[in-house]
Chains A and B, each alone.
Chain A
Amino acid sequence: MNMLKKIWQILKSPTSAGVGVVVALGFFGGVIFWGGFNTSLEMTNTEEFCLSCHEMNNNVYQEYKETIHYANRSGVRATCPDCHVPKEWTHKIIRKIAASKEVWGKMTGLIDTREKFQDHRKSMAMREWKRMKENDSRECRNCHNFEYMDFSEQGSRSVKMHSTALASGEKTCIDCHKGIAHELPDMKGVEGWH
């Protein structure tokens, strides 16, 4: 008891040295916490992390493997987080917080079989299309920058669309480029589809 009182006394009347220790502890503690936080955040931002769940590995990943964002002539790839997680910090944190719902889905087995996954495909796809539509396909534009598109190198059909609807801002990437990395759900009622 006496010991505790003594410690309390020391804590209550900090010497200047004590203040230094507290500040130093706070500083280094902060560095370690922030470093750890960021490292684990980035750890969840890798393809390996996404594929560690069978829901991702058995469904969307297998479909993605047939597409140009997985394999192509130059070997530049877009992995899961490149399209599904914003690069910029604020947007990234917002997306990460929203993703806690996905953790809940994993825990309750919302899409733990192929059949359940197919049942939910449309709602999940529509949510992602909406997100991309609202942020003007920001994640696409991390790599595909409109300013540097060379129309002389594009096919005539691409030029026709890109120089009009995309250039005027009337449409954004995701409006036309749906299902480029994963299979599509039933497209009945989706704009631009039969």
Chain B
Amino acid sequence: MKKLITGLVLLGVVATAVAQKDDSSTDALVNNGGVESLRGKAELNETRQPDKLKRVLKDREVVERNYVHQPPVIPHQIRGYKVDLNSNKCLSCHGWKYAKEVGATKVSPTHFETRDGMTLSDISPRRYFCSQCHVPQVDAKPLVKNEFRAVESLSHE
């Protein structure tokens, strides 16, 4: 009986020690060392409260480009605009058939080219999925300081 009790106590002590050791090692792994990042002060194993979703700006003027060959950003909301095998909502205005009537920007002729440079009679499949490159904008401040300026030929600010 005595032996059994001693055995159990010993087992308990060992188990606690192991558990404590485990704790400290995980602590070292997730500790951010007091460094504050874009995630804030949250430790690595913590799920932090997410930032509020930013709202997409409603219709506004065409947004200037920042560099040559930049895909122009979308200056309006596109909630529920489907682009798939069955339909492409963007082309209902930006397709050449409708652009003039609607007053929308036409899809650039480069979108009719295959990767071998052959011009097709309609949008090339590789350029069909608009939002792969063109995205709408939210009113968000830059997360880090940014001194980027557009090249002179694109902007006269």
Chain A residues near B (Cβ < 8 Å): 66-68, 155-157, 160, 179-180, 183-187, 192-194
Contact = CB atoms under 8 A, between A and B. Distances in A.
Given A68-B79, A155-B76, A194-B95, A187 B86 contact: yes
Chain B binding surface SS class: loop
A81 to B, nearest CB: 22
Interface string B77-113: 1011010011110011001011000110000000000
Contacts of B86: 183-187
Contact-residue size bin, chain B (C-beta under 8 Å from the other chain): 10 to 19
Most chain B CB inside 10 Å of its own CB: which residue of A66, A67, A180, A194: A194
B58 interface: yes
A193 B94 CA distance: 11
A67 B87 CA distance: 17
B95 A157 contact: no
A67 B76 contact: no
A180 B92 CA distance: 14
Contacts of A194: 87-88, 91-92, 95, 97, 123
Given A184-B86, A187-B86, A192-B98, A155 B92 contact: no
A179 B81 CA distance: 9
B59 interface: yes
A184 B58 contact: no
The 5 closest A-B pairs by CB, nearest first: A194-B91, A155-B59, A187-B87, A156-B59, A184-B87
B59 A67 contact: no
A194 B59 CA distance: 23
A192 B88 CA distance: 11
Given A155-B59, A184-B87, A192 B80 contact: no
B87 A193 contact: yes
Nearest to A176: B92
A184 B98 CA distance: 20
Most chain B CB inside 10 Å of its own CB: which residue of A68, A185, A187: A187
A103 to B, nearest CB: 28
A66 B80 CA distance: 8
Given A155-B76, A156-B59, A157-B76, A184 B97 contact: no
A159 to B, nearest CB: 9
Given A160-B103, A185-B86, A155 B91 contact: no
Nearest to B61: A156
B92 to A, nearest CB: 6
Interface in B46-80: 58-59, 76-77, 79-80
